[in-house]
Chains A and B, each alone.
Chain A
């Protein structure tokens, strides 16, 4: 095959894969977006980067290693369950799935990856604890011929096969654009980020700052870190409210995990329903419940933990030698509180369409795990 036809074939095969993965959990309701990833369709480039994986083609059954940065928040629990569920669904191809948990320690994760390679994995799925510190270890694995599929958290270099993610940049931008328009281009924003140095947080903050910078009237008062925890989120927002009070006009939150903490901080500071400034959120049920109850203007753009399961599908594509996109972006739903659409944020979805009114507050509504899923009791028989 010539170079050009080969590349064309790769693109076609990859695009077919993308479309297949777009098959949604929400398809039953026409308000929900169920098409191919927007970031793929709206991409202005004439050619999207696809990676040839023929050198990794192997016969099964495979041993797949998953080096997890750690658990510790509900998003990561659902992500892990989604991954286990997908592995259980491919028992014919996967002989063994070995999962390690680094407890959010870079040193432990480097050691885990080395131990997994020692144990003879055919492919590594890695969710990196921090962007830079795991880079050399991923490079070492690739140099030893072990394909690495990054998931949710990538490393700084491009030295991996593919990165399964939702678009952090799109989330960060949409959140910021909505806030800027909601405030009519004038006001003060607190950026309630995730964990300092982690890629999902950084990759949402940077595009957001770029958006805010285009509005001379918008001022980012401070960027504070919640470590993705509502408790820490509440603490840092209490400090911000004490410092700036009513001067805070909006809270840009990098995810929904910490948003409830911020809203609680405002409520406890005496803000009445309808007075709490606009917030952004993702994936979590609680913030939507609170926003509806306390009339908080809110934008939800998901970062679906279903990407855990998708990383298994992508891993199998790599081991089958099929081309994969260099960045594997899965889709997000976009929902906004009633009456809070802006020029740029036009969507038929309302918070009331997304929320599970009587469900637990810490439940994730974008995991694709089915209606009766309960993270506390979930068990699946995956190949170990």
Chain B
């Protein structure tokens, strides 16, 4: 229960001590940054740094929710379908009408939350591992979105793309939202009782039950929040692409797990945190950017990502054995 990791300014040095995985990720980030500088002069431009931040937004939002489910020892494999559904509904219901933007965004956020809560309820009632439950709901959601539309649905007003491409003081809006959200969730995990219970459930589910911790509440909050994060990702992607499509979220199911494990959160739950995930997201975006600058083909980019996951996980497993 004591294994807390946080992102708050006070907790930053503490989190470094508690989770040495983060040190590895930071080292890799610095290494890539230095290396990228050698590859091209243009790599170091502000423009390119903002690019990387902007490109990391979608992955960051969905990985935030995924971090919490994994911290409880669970996982959410429905995120990809959820994003596809919510994104398609966003552009489909807005239908190019500017006056619909606000109500649809509100509705989509609520719907994301609701779908997440359904995932949570099923996990609690059925007492089946979240992997199976969310695999099932994911398939259901994918079916629903295809019933709604076989291709791109509706459209958004031109100004809507500002959410993805707009900048505040030269920094992409999405990147700012990501940092603020991660800080809030990090603080929640450290300073709120319910936040600490998330670690407790993941650390020792049976123990948490015996101690009378509100396990059901934790599960509901975590999966509900994960659904909410999927809604944010869906809205962001709709802005980035100008339309929602039934397969928009496809890659995000597995992609959302990568930064979580790279950032040092154990798949078995109870250990890790959101700071590691955020750094993991930046690492992956930076890696793709550097490989692009090096003219490395897409196929090698996939291989590099895969190897990083394997290496990261093996490092953390090793650590755990020593403990």
Contact = CB atoms under 8 A, between A and B. Distances in A.
Contacts of B107: none
B243 A115 contact: no
Contact of B242 (A114, A117, A135): A135
Nearest to A131: B152
Q: Which 5 pairs show the lowest CB-CB distances between chains A and B? A: A133-B241, A132-B243, A197-B151, A118-B48, A136-B161
Contacts of B155: 132
Interface string B167-187: 000000000000000000000
Interface residues of B, number: 35
Nearest to B48: A118
Interface in B143-175: 150-152, 155, 161, 164-165
Contacts of A99: 295
B178 to A, nearest CB: 16
A197 B297 CA distance: 25
Interface majority SS (helix, strand, loop, mixed), chain B: helix
Given A118-B48, A133-B241, A111 B288 contact: yes
Contacts of B302: 103
Interface in A166-218: 196-197
Contacts, number: 83
Contacts of A139: 161
Given A111-B55, A132-B241, A135-B242, A102 B298 contact: yes
Interface of A: 70, 98-103, 105-108, 110-112, 114-115, 117-120, 130-137, 139-140, 196-197, 384
A326 to B, nearest CB: 21
Contacts of A118: 42-43, 45, 47-48, 51
Contact of A107 (B47, B48, B51, B58): B58
A163 to B, nearest CB: 18
Contacts of A136: 161, 164-165, 239-242
B54 A114 contact: yes
Contact of B295 (A130, A135, A384): A384
Contact of A119 (B42, B58, B242, B245): B42
Nearest to A132: B243
Interface in B226-273: 237, 239-243, 245, 248, 251
A103 B292 CA distance: 13
B299 interface: yes
A109 to B, nearest CB: 10
Given A107-B237, A108-B298, A132 B292 contact: no
Contact of B151 (A103, A120, A134, A196): A196
A101 B288 CA distance: 12
A64 B288 CA distance: 20
B299 A103 contact: yes
B245 A101 contact: no
Given A115-B292, A140-B165, 7 more contacts: A103-B298, A106-B245, A111-B51, A130-B152, A132-B243, A135-B243, A137-B240
Given A111-B288, A132-B152, A197-B245, A120 B297 contact: no
Could you say which of B151, B164, B239 has the most chain A C-beta atoms within 10 Å of its C-beta?
B151
B245 A130 contact: yes
B314 interface: no
A197 B152 CA distance: 7
A144 to B, nearest CB: 10
Nearest to B47: A118
Contacts of B191: none
B293 interface: yes
Given A111-B288, A119-B40, A119-B42, A106 B51 contact: no
B298 A101 contact: yes
B289 interface: yes
A134 B47 CA distance: 20
